Amino acid sequence: MSAQDSSIEKVVIVGSGPAGWTAALYASRANLNPLVFPGRAASSDVLPGGQLMLTTDVENYPGFPEGITGPDMMDLFFKQALRFGTRIVADKGIATESEVGLYGQFQNAANLDLSSSPFTITGDNDFECKAHSVIIATGAKANWMGIENELRLAKSGGGVSACAVCDGALPAFRDKPLAVVGGGDSAVEEATYLSKFGSKVYMIHRRDELRASKIMAQRAIDNDKIEILWNKTLIDVLGDDHITAAKLKDTVTGEESTLDLSGLFLAIGHTPATEFLNGQLDLDAKKYIKLADPYRSTTNIDGVFAAGDCVDSVYRQAITASGMGCKAALDAERWLADKGIE
Ligand code: NAP
């Protein structure tokens, strides 16, 4: 196939969080006519949109002085990307801005063959395309305990969250007892952050020693507002519309107890969505995609770029993911120009 074969996509973007839609926005404005595999949503009347679809109010994304809900923000990102010609892989085929509503659910990229260029991307519902360049922006999922009430209240904005930095400053948590589950650096960081707002912050940790680095652990121990509940695991979350308490179990004695709370924050790690790559891209020990150059979006495969939380185990914010999506689109644009692909 020649480099100018019009059946070959110039850039395919996999993923539809802030990184994916920002990459699509920049790529479409650069006339690259990007094709996005947004992934499959929980139902046909919501967007996929990644972790922000589980976030109630986003108050730290510049440009929204009154705040905005995560789903509303993703809807705006989506519309802005489509306005400039981004196309979407939907169940019934490729959809443009005027067609998306008619094309049913969006497809996941089920398989990527990056072994030879052009790359082959296969959807999860009978769709295959070839692409000169690919941007991976599949994000990461916060880990949850998997308790029914925990997930229900997280989805409904009932005071359960997996991101204290995103949600912790909301009025519902001011001067109220809050808790963080986990004993790693994130748990300490979240508890420290929450201690600025809550009346008291409990750290619920399943062992008698924190996993967090010494300096971070000391920070939690030295903070008067933080109390570490050792050897405790979360077994249930109580409350109808909003959390009122957590049920805990002692991991040593098996004794159960109830802790009154107005907010619960899970900090038990994240899992990057990189398994579908089947080892074709270099990953770090925690399965995040390794960038070939930390200041850019290049990977170990020429023509494959990566952006957002599938790359980033440190910052994990919508704004940082968006910035990385922008970089990936600019890198792809320059890479295509260098190859003479227009
Ligand atoms: P992490 O280091 O993997 O810690 C996860 C914590 O959650 C651990 O304490 C673990 O308990 C607990 N946990 C996991 N599954 C659980 C379950 N099912 N039930 C109860 N507890 C559970 O994850 P992280 O804290 O998100 O950190 C990820 C990486 O980012 C780390 O390398 C960390 O150093 C880095 N980080 C750095 C900073 C910083 O330096 N400022 C801030 C945040 C993150 P166990 O300890 O018993 O396994």
Q: Are residues 194 and 114 in the same domain?
A: no
Q: Is 260 marked active-site?
A: no
| DSSP-derived 3-state class of residue 333 | helix
- Any idea what the Cα angle at residue 110 is, between residues 104 and 113, rounded to 5°? 135
Q: Are 211 and 198 in contact (CB under 8 A)?
A: no
| Residue appearing with tokens 């994130």 | 186
Nearest CA-CA partner of 247 in 292, 185, 297, 181: 181
Name the residue with the closest Cα to ligand 1, atom 16. Answer: 268
Q: Which atom of ligand 1 is nearest to 143's Cα?
A: 15
What is the end-to-end Cα distance of the chain in Å, rounded?
Answer: 15
HEC assignment per residue over 116-181: CCCEEEEECCCCEEEEEEEEECCCEEECCCCCHHHHHHHHCCCCEECCHHHHCCCHHHCCCEEEEE
Task: Answer whether residue 1 is part of any domain.
Answer: no
Of the residues 129, 163, 310, 326, only one is catalytic, namely: 163
Q: Are residues 19 and 133 in the same domain?
A: yes
Q: Are residues 149 and 133 in the same domain?
A: no
pLDDT digits (tens, 9 = 90+) for 186-232: 899 899 999 999 999 999 999 999 999 999 999 999 999 999 999 99
Of the residues 166, 185, 312, 326, only one is catalytic, namely: 166
Q: What's the number of domains the chain is made of? A: 2
Report the separation in Å between the CA atom of 207 and the middle of ligand 1, taken as the mean of its atom positions.
12
Which structural domain range is residue 82 located in? 9-141+270-338
Task: Answer whether residue 4 is part of any domain.
Answer: no
Task: Answer whether residue 115 is part of any domain.
Answer: yes
Q: Are residues 204 and 279 in the same domain?
A: no
Instruction: Among 266, 288, 320, identify where a domain stops.
Output: 266
pLDDT digits (tens, 9 = 90+) for 261-291: 999 999 999 899 999 999 999 999 999 999 9
Q: Are residues 151 and 137 in the same domain?
A: no
Of the residues 124, 167, 185, 312, only one is catalytic, namely: 167
Q: Are residues 212 and 303 in the same domain?
A: no
Task: Answer whether residue 3 is part of any domain.
Answer: no
Task: Answer whether residue 2 is part of any domain.
Answer: no
pLDDT at 337 over 80: yes
Q: Are residues 182 and 302 in the same domain?
A: no
CATH number (domain holding residue 242) = 3.50.50.60
pLDDT digits (tens, 9 = 90+) for 24-42: 999 999 999 999 999 887 6
For the residues 286-306, what does the mean pLDDT come to? 97
pLDDT digits (tens, 9 = 90+) for 41-65: 766 666 777 778 766 678 889 999 9
pTM above 0.85, yes or no: no
| Residue appearing with tokens 């989506």 | 78
